[in-house]
Amino acid sequence: MARTAVRGRLSWQVAEVAAITEETHSVRTIALNLPDWPGHHAGQHLDVRLTAEDGYSAERSYSIASADGEPVAITVERLEDGEVSPYLTQELRLGDQMEVRGPIGDWFTWSPHDGGPLLLIAGGSGVVPLRAILRHRQRSGSGVPVRLLYSSRTLADVIYREELDQYRGHAEVRYTLTRAQPPGWAGFSGRVDDAMLARVAWPASRRPLTFVCGPTAFVEAVAELLLARHYPASRVKTERFGGA
């Protein structure tokens, strides 16, 4: 890769908040106006840097929620005891500015020529880069078969629910709710386990291309289950968002 391209991706630039969408009680999507953005691929992330008036600054990574060619957006979940996410989800207003650099990460990405079948497994806000992949697949007219298994605490915590439900017919979208299920709930309940994967995952013989994203413990548990199902490690891509 050309040195100037790398330098461009690692340089901070000023982003302006162009739109805010409240997704759930604790999650919002922030669309950014980034005049010098070099473009991104579904699955990549960016870094955000916030600087206080006294010069103190904090940096965090956020997956890019939009597909290749779409304006950049991030989707942030508020951690009540967090430093940066409460600001982004409660204080930030339209027209505010923040510093951003990216796009970052070439491994956790998908494009139609990577093929499939695709298995996408998300825990909580880990659905963000997987949504970008689903959008990119849809926008590019790719017919690669795809299954999404998305674990949330409750139905009200499901991010992008309306959009994900619209993919049904083109993609197999399955939810599991770990804390509470509404009356008559027909999806899965509880944490992702081997029995759930037995019903959702492609057979290993089809060499699925798998993307797993979410809190670190979730990603590690799911990756172990997939390897035990003889999924080829080189085709299981993981992104850990942090946390215990």
Interaction site with ligand FAD (CB under 6 A): 45, 60-63, 75-77, 79, 81-85, 125, 128, 215, 239, 241-243
CB closer to ligand FAD out of 120 and 201: 120
CB closer to ligand FAD out of 187 and 215: 215
Query: Exposure of 9 by Cβ count < 10 A (0-12 exposed, 13-18 middle, 19+ buried)?
Result: middle
In whole angstroms, how close is the CB of 14 to ligand FAD at the nearest point?
20
- Which residue's Cβ has the minimum distance to ligand FAD? 82
In whole angstroms, how close is the CB of 218 to ligand FAD at the nearest point?
9
In whole angstroms, how close is the CB of 186 to ligand FAD at the nearest point?
28
In whole angstroms, how close is the CB of 244 to ligand FAD at the nearest point?
6
CB closer to ligand FAD out of 21 and 203: 21
Angle (nearest 5°) at CA 175 between 214 and 73: 50
> How far is it, in rounded angstroms, from Cα 210 to Cα 234?
10
CB closer to ligand FAD out of 143 and 243: 243
In whole angstroms, how close is the CB of 141 to ligand FAD at the nearest point?
26
Strand ranges across the sheet with 146-152: 188-189, 172-177, 146-152, 118-123, 209-214, 236-240
| Peptide bond between residue 103 and the one before it cis (omega within 30 degrees of 0) | yes
Listed in sequence order, the residues at least 6 apart from 106 whose beta carbon sits closer than 8 Å to its beta carbon are 41, 44
Strand, helix or coil for residue 75: strand
CB closer to ligand FAD out of 204 and 220: 220
The H-or-E segment that residue 14 falls in is strand 13-24
CB closer to ligand FAD out of 81 and 162: 81
First to last CA, the chain: 35
In whole angstroms, how close is the CB of 54 to ligand FAD at the nearest point?
18
- Alpha helix (H) residue ranges in 25-113: 85-86
